[in-house]
Amino acid sequence: MLTVSVQAGGQSTRMGEDKALKPFLGRPLIERVIERLKPIADEIIVTTNRPEDYSFLEYRLVPDLKPGRGALGGLYTALASATGDMVAVVACDMPFASPKLFEAAARLMVEEEADVVIAESAEGMEPLHALYRREACVPAIEAAIAADQWKVIAWFPQVKVRVLGPEEIQDTDPSGLCFWNLNTPEEFVEAERRAKSSK
């Protein structure tokens, strides 16, 4: 069973408003992200500390289980709250999130018995567009939080991580846009332009 967890916990400081709720091609950006991944999901959850702002979504809304622990706490919340053992975690501001990449990751997770399948892009590891096996990852993250670690991937040495290389990413995401997260109004405009031209 595959759970898709959309992380809507960021501060959106550079945008000046909540990115997830900002209109993208006429509707909240988070709706586009969910719609892209809905076909592969057995369950969809949204992690947010402002559930009242997301009540229009017909999905389970989960507040932080470890408040004040930043992105690592958000990841813990996503995995601990999921029903499925495979959890696809994606940020709410990724309009080109790739269902194909997650499907490929799920196959690898089974074939290679991995606990995390994560891409390494030019920007580094992409923990907010990655697949996690809940059973192995939740205790490892709990231990990292207990040890006062903050890096989202601080606990990776405790589990079996399968890193996707450039060619594997290219195979599932030829556009190269799946890890693009929107931080500024200018990026929103450019992303909308690209989304229209790719239809």
Q: Which domain covers residue 17, as residue numbers?
A: 2-197
Q: Note the pLDDT tens digit of each residue in 72-84.
A: 999 999 999 999 9
pTM equals 0.94
- Asked if the model's pLDDT at residue 188 lies above 70, the reply is yes
Structure tokens at 185: 């109004």
Write the CATH number for 62: 3.90.550.10
Q: Sign of the CA dihedral 89, 75, 151, 184?
A: positive
Write phi, then psi, for 126 (nearest 5 degrees).
-120, 75
- Asked if the model's pLDDT at residue 15 lies above 90, the reply is no
Q: Note the pLDDT tens digit of each residue in 31-61.
A: 999 999 999 999 999 999 999 999 999 999 9
Rounded to an integer, the average pLDDT of 102-106 is 97
- Asked if the model's pLDDT at residue 11 lies above 90, the reply is no
pLDDT attached to residue 10: 60
pLDDT attached to residue 60: 96
Q: Note the pLDDT tens digit of each residue in 125-140.
A: 999 999 999 999 999 9
CA distance 32 to 2: 19
Q: Give the number of domains in the chain.
A: 1
